[in-house]
Amino acid sequence: MSGARDSERGKLFTRRTALLAGGQAVLTVALAGRMYYLQVIEAERYGILADENRISMRLLPPPRGLITDRFGREMAVNRQNFRVLVVREQTPDVGQTLDALGMVIPLTDADKRRIRREIERKRAFMPVQVKENLTWEEMAQIQINAPDLPGVVIDEGLTRFYPYAERGAQVLGYVSAVSERDLTGEALLELPGFRIGKAGIEKVYDLALRGKGGNFKVEVNALGRVIRELERKEGTPGVDLTLTIDLELQQFAVDQIGEESAAAVVMDVHTGEVLVMASTPTFDPNAFNRGLTGDEWNALVNNERSPLRNKCISAQFPPGSTFKTMVAIAALEAGVITPEQTVFCPGHVDLGSHRFHCWKKTGHGTVGMVEALQHSCDVYFYEVARRVGIDRIAEVAKRFGLGAPLGVDLPNEVGGVIPDRAWKRAFNGQPWLPGETLNAGIGQGYVLSTPLQLAVMACRLANGGVAVRPRLTREQVTDNGLKPVGDPAYANMGFNPKSLAIVRRGMYEVVNNPQGTAHRAAFDLNGMKMAGKTGSSQVRRITMKERETTGVIKNEALPWKERDHALFIAFAPADAPRYATCVVVEHGGGGSAVAAPIASEILKETLRRDPSRQRPPPPTEGQA
């Protein structure tokens, strides 16, 4: 019995041994097959994956293109940027390190909270930016105190800088950090600290100024920590852009305006180049690059004088008596009046039950067109506007550049309003009224224009009716870089030269006749004189009670927002025009007393400098 049992146990052991051996053989074959698959069939694929795990490709931000004025003076540049970073794995206590760093450079509680949030989101070896745009002194202090600041490192890069800060802020605009709505999928936009244009020229030409990113290869370990740099390919810098602005003349204009809320434009009447585009009050664009505090932002947006707005293109004003030039040309072209025909001004005119007043209470007597422009007689232009009609006035004004955006290379340009019968019907469904024609005849009522539009109007009056358009850059941006732009050929608008000559003569008398409304602003610079037209536009209705009892309240006695706007358009030299200007002082009062003297000084300085006849520097290599 015992032998039988031993025999059975031996057979069972043999079967188990065979099964185990068979299983081992199957596993060995499977393992060999898998190894063959991985090492032979999939060798190339896994080799690539291994290299990608070992080598990391990273982006390099390109230097942003420079912006210069017409003579090569740098208005927007890049300068050295020191940043302080902290690496969590290199410091035993982040909180203590930040407290110690706060003794060297100012760090707010908000800064510390932001840094801790970023540290929690990133891996321990990844650096987190603490602060950028450090001064040399701050950077040096951190280096001196390095033994007491474990995990704190200094990084160096480039940042945007505006050397003249406030002098051209609304034209240049500014750069700022990329927001979520700015993301387009472009990898550059996701780089920490990358800046893009958010306003002005910086925004319009952002893609060209931005350039193309480079890259560098680094060897990393399994955790992603950098071991060494393998290869570096620098990016393509952004293009350098040359503006038509004369920076020194721009500075002069801003100084002349002073503390006023105002806009000033100077243009070449033949080429359309904008030499000055000044808007005040202004702001420091460098503040947007470093990051505004909440108080700084609120101070800008709540300022009733709107420093962030470029008033030259984004503010609309009733043109006041400067618009009388358009009414005069419309009347001459339509043949409803000749320059010699006169109108009697007793100080007012009645239309139905409504009385329309002249600015001069006692009236101007009998005046022809030149005298009416010289004295800025409202009654004369009430009558002329009534004869010619709003539709003809509107057609002429639009041809002179009013009533629609001019297409200047800046964002947020508005079009103004040049009303006619069809416009009012579309605007509020009401018919046009005769009294509205009279109001439009002196640049009031629905009529609105921007300072740039009025400057263009002055250019087209001065150059004999050539439809120049404003230009802010001296190159055209193409896919291959920059292409210099010569003086464009503008079409003649087809007005009778005699009509334009009559209006220019009236503008000459405005300034140079002792009885002209702007005679106090006259100058004679080596035989060169100025021609111009004053304007004052009301922002409130003057009541009959004010006129009959107390008299019209002086602007100085009114709250700032209820004062008249002061306007002046001009060109010089009067006998051979080269430059035109428009100055609008918001709620400044009378055009003759406030705007004309400013424009006179700016135009005199323009003639002294004569920037259009100075030779700009040749284009740099690769930009021709």
Pick from 358, 357, 385, 350: which is nearest to 369 by CA? Answer: 385
Q: Give yes or no for a cis peptide into 281 (omega within 30° of 0).
A: yes
Residue 583 near residue 602 (C-beta atoms within 8 A): yes
* 185, 188, 192, 198: CA torsion to nearest 10: -80
Residue 321 falls in the annotated catalytic set:
yes
Q: Which residues of 532-542 are buried (b: 16+ CB within 10 A; e: fewer)?
A: bbbbbbeeeee
- Token couple for 523: 């100058």
Query: Which CB contacts under 8 angstroms, 24+ apart, belong to 102-109?
Result: 104/138, 104/141, 104/142, 104/145, 104/149, 105/131, 105/134, 105/138, 105/141, 105/142, 107/131
Hey, which bits of 32-144 come out as E strands? Answer: 55-60, 67-68, 74-87, 127-134
Three-state SS letters, 168-206:
HHHHHCEEEECCHHHCCCCHHHHCCCCEEEEEHHHHHCH
- Token couple for 58: 């990273």
Q: Which residues contact 362 (CB under 8 A, 6 or more apart)?
A: 347
Residue 251 near residue 606 (C-beta atoms within 8 A): no
Catalytically annotated residue among 176, 279, 321, 600: 321
Write down the residue that tokens 């506007």 correspond to: 385
Instruction: In whole angstroms, give the CA distance from residue 187 to residue 390.
Output: 55
φ, ψ of residue 235 in degrees (nearest 5) = -80, 180
Instruction: In whole angstroms, give the CA distance from residue 263 to residue 279.
Output: 4
Q: Which residues contact 469 (CB under 8 A, 6 or more apart)?
A: 272, 401, 406, 407, 456, 488, 490
Q: Using alpha carbons, list the distances in angstroms from residue 49 to 54, 187, 354.
A: 9, 22, 87
Q: Which residues contact 195 (CB under 8 A, 6 or more apart)?
A: 64, 159, 160, 175, 176, 177, 178, 289
DSSP, res 540: S
- Token couple for 565: 């706007």
Instruction: In whole angstroms, give the CA distance from residue 500 to residue 486.
Output: 27
Pick from 566, 579, 567, 565: which is nearest to 609 by CA? Answer: 579
Instruction: In whole angstroms, give the CA distance from residue 281 to residue 263.
Output: 9
Q: Give yes or no for a cis peptide into 573 (omega within 30° of 0).
A: yes
Catalytic residues: 321
